[in-house]
Every structure is written in structure tokens, then in C-alpha cells.
Structure 1
Amino acid sequence: MFIRLYNENPNPRDIRKIVDVLHDGGIIIYPTDTVYGLGCDITSVKAVEKVARFKGINIEKSNFSFICSDLSHLSDYTRPISNSVFKLIKKNLPGPFTFILDANNNVPRYFKGKKKTVGIRVPNNNIIREIVAELGNPILSTSIRDEDEIVEYTTDPELIYEKYQDIADIVIDGGYGELIPSTVIDCTGDTIEIIRKGKGVLDY
């Protein structure tokens, strides 16, 4: 299924249709404020396993992140954080950043393995944030890979659909995507560390 949505005012009926697919264990490809993402409901084990197979990785060794609609979900999946870390996150989200935080026991066991961290992402994109808000819990997020490095396949929604329609139940057209991924910030140590420089400049 191919659904066109507008960032300024996503159609609520289409949002509900997408959420129904996620509830049924479906996989979606969606726009963010950086690259297009591939995701599913974090509570659907079969969908998570399907995403992991597509990416060719072990779930427990993966670096999947969670897309949240806002910061209200933060304490649902992470251990308590310091005031300084919270201020940093609040100042920069929504935005093109993934914050690595210590995970709590609410994170589904199959994500954690030996890892005790989770990546939290709140993109500056109304489409995916409204989907997550309607769903009621975060979605798993990973970028779509581009084996042959043809730029259009990861930036043009119609070409994304052409290439990935056998994997994704829904491809959402939210306009052209970007090629630069989010900046990843590790907040689990004594100091804040940028472990991948992507889009955006962190505001301290």
C-alpha cells in the first residue's frame, strides 16, 4: 500500500489505517526529518524479527532505536537520567538526533540481549509522530538500506515503494527524504559523547 501524507496536516483517517496495520504486526516505511525509516510496533515480536531478517542482523546485537511522539515516553523505557541530560534532550528534540540512554525493564527483552541501552528518537516530522501518538507506544526504527547506492531509491518515495513493496506493508510518501542520518549521542557515560555525526548541530 502506498499512502501520501502531508507533514503540515496528516490525514487522521490515513493515520488510523497505518496504525491498524502496525497493530496487526505490519511493517511501514515512513519519512522522518532525516532519511526514510523502516519500522514496526515494538510490541510485535514477529514484525521485529522480520525487520531484523531484512537488515541481516541479530536483534540482540542490533542498534535499533525507538521513535517516540514526544518526551513523555522517555521514562517508560529508560532509567532515570540527570537533569543536565534531560535538559540537553529537551533542548534538541524534536530534531535529527538519537540519544542513547540506559534502558529499563519495560524495553522488550528481545531488544536488550547483553545490551542495557536504548536509542530514543523524536523526529521533527508530524507524520511519524502522529502515527506513534495514535499507536500509543514507540515504533522500532532503522534506516532503509541501499545496497546499490542509487540515491533515488532511498530519497524518492515512489522508487522506495517500487523497491521495497514486498517487505513493507505500507510505504508513506511524505515528500523527498534526505541522505544524511541522525546524529547519535551517547548519554550513558560520565560525559556526553557524539558517536555518529549526522544531520543537526547539538545545542548545549
Structure 2
Amino acid sequence: MAQIFEVHPDNPQARFLRQAAQILSQGGIGAIPTDSSYALVCQLDDKAAAEALRRIRGVDEKHHMTLLCRDLSELGAYARVDNKQYRMIKTATPGPFTFILEATKEVPRRLSHPSRRTIGLRVPDHRVTQDLLAIVGQPLLATTLIPPGEHEPINDPENIAARYDKLIQLIIDAGACPMKPTTVVDLTAEPPVLVRRGCGDPACLGLTLEESTD
């Protein structure tokens, strides 16, 4: 049964976040709020939890997982970012964007795309997520909480509890989140490719993006 922590979205109770971080450190999977939608998360370095995360989400190893980072400096430790990419990311960070970048050696190979060695990274603009990341002390592995076979994320904590109570170990309830996932931009392509339209407005990147046909 998932443990539910009800927190204030703008001033979350630190003791609840510390308890949630402890559950994650023991191999737990959690549903947490972000600035785009709720996400499923686990510890970056926990192989068993990462595999369980994929099973719950219903995706294979070719699906880009995302690293939730506290800031640009942390993002830079896990991805190779040139000056042009950095300037682009800085204009949209923190915010509801996921950027696909070349992974560094800090990212376990099993978490990056099997043929491209790329990883999705983002810096969420949400107080609860940011405070949790500060306690954890490293990025969290994440995926948008979209049930298998569906197209929209779940944004209601009560619905999450009803559907995932026996599959995950914790839910941080900070109220409803937006219904849209992040906007995903592949910065390893030239020109960059818009993989998915979501909460973030691609126009803020100052680019005319190629739209993915996949």
C-alpha cells in the first residue's frame, strides 16, 4: 500500500519530504507533482526500481527516461552540453521542458537510449519537486504518469491512489497538476527536433523546430 504525504504545494512540510526520500532510498517508487503533471520516480542508481518503473509505465528500454535535476549545474554533470545548447536550455529552465541530450558517464548505460546513448533531462519549476531533490541529493529517474494504453497523464492524487496503490510505495499529494506532459526537444539533432508538444511553449526557445514524424 502506498504511503500518502499531503503537502502544501508552495510550502511543503520538510518532515514529509524526508520520509518520502527515505522510502525512495530503500528502493521505493513514488508519484510526485511537477510543473507539468504527476510523475513516477525512483532513485537514479537503483536498477531494480528502474526496471519496475518501466513495467508500471508500460515502456521498454527504447523509451527515453528523464532525469529530474535541481538546476543547470546538476544537469551539466549528466549530459554533454555545448554553449549553444546551454543558452537554449537556460531560457526555458526551470520549466516544463525535457531536453534530450548526449549522456555522460555519470548516467548508467542501462538508463540511456540503447543505440544513441542519450537521456532526457529537465529542471522542474515546482517547489515540492525542488525540495525533494534537495533532500535526495541527486537527480531522480522519472517518467510522466501516463497509464499504459492511455494518452493523458493522471493529475488527481486520489485517482493515482486508486489505480496505483499496490504498485508504488508513496504518493506526494500537493493537489492537482496540469494535465499536459512536458514539451520534449531533441537537442542532439541539427536542427533540434520537437518530439512532443506539451506544457512548455517551444517559441520561447527562439528556434524554428523540426517536428518529429515518429
Q: When the two structures are superposed, what TM-score results if normalisation uses the length of structure 1?
A: 0.92
CA pair 176-67 structure 1, distance change in 2 beyond 3 A: same
| Distance (whole Å) between structure 2 residues aligned to residue 146 and residue 191 of structure 1 | 32
Aligned counterpart, 1:111: 111
Structure 1 SS opposite 2:154: helix
Q: Is the 8 A contact 2:57 2:148 kept in 1?
A: no
Instruction: Flag structure 2 segments of 5+ consecutive residues without an equivalent.
Output: 207-214
Residue 21 (structure 1) aligned to one of 11, 18, 23: 23
Provide Cα deviations, 1:85-142, integer angstroms capped at 9, x if missing partner: 1111111111110011111111012113323111111111111121112111111111
Q: For residues 107 and 27 of structure 1, do their structure 2 counterparts lie closer, same or farther at Cα, with a shift above 3 Å needed?
A: same
Q: Which amino acid aligns with 1:58?
A: D
Q: How much has 1:166 moved relative to structure 2?
A: 0.8
Letter in 2 for 1:155: N
Aligned residues: 201
Cα distance, 1:57 vs structure 2: 2.8
Match of 2:49 in 1: 47
CA distance in 2, matches of 1:27, 1:7: 20
Amino acid at match of 2:194: I
Residue matched to 2:167: 167
Distance in 2 (CA, whole Å) between partners of 1:150 and 1:172 is: 22
Which runs of at least 4 in structure 1 moved beyond 2 Å after TM superposition? 55-59, 112-115, 145-151
Q: Corresponding residue for 1:155?
A: 155
Residue type of the partner of 2:129? I
Corresponding residue number in structure 1 for 2:9:
7
CA distance change for structure 1 residues 2 and 195 in 2, over 3 Å: closer, same or farther? same
Which position in structure 2 is the counterpart of 1:69?
Answer: 70
CA contact 2:75–2:122 (8 Å) conserved in 1: no
Aligned position for 1:86: 86
Report SS of the residue matched to 2:98.
strand
2:116 aligned partner, one-letter code = K
Structure 1 gap ranges (5+): none
Distance 2:100 2:9 in 1: 26
Partner of 2:18, secondary structure, is helix
**Alpha-carbon distance change, 191 to 147 in structure 1, aligned in 2, over 3 angstroms:** closer
User: Which residue of structure 2 lines up, in the alignment, with residue 189 of structure 1?
Assistant: 189
Where does residue 37 of structure 1 map in the other structure?
39
When normalised by structure 2's length, the TM-score is 0.88
Identity among equivalent pairs (%): 34
Deviation at 1:144, TM superposition (A): 1.8
Deviations 1:19-63 (Å, cap 9, x if unpaired)?
11111111000111112111101111110011112223333x121
Match of 1:199 in 2: 199
**Whole-angstrom distance in 2 between the partners of 1:8 and 1:199:** 20
User: What SS is found at the alignment partner of 2:191?
Assistant: coil
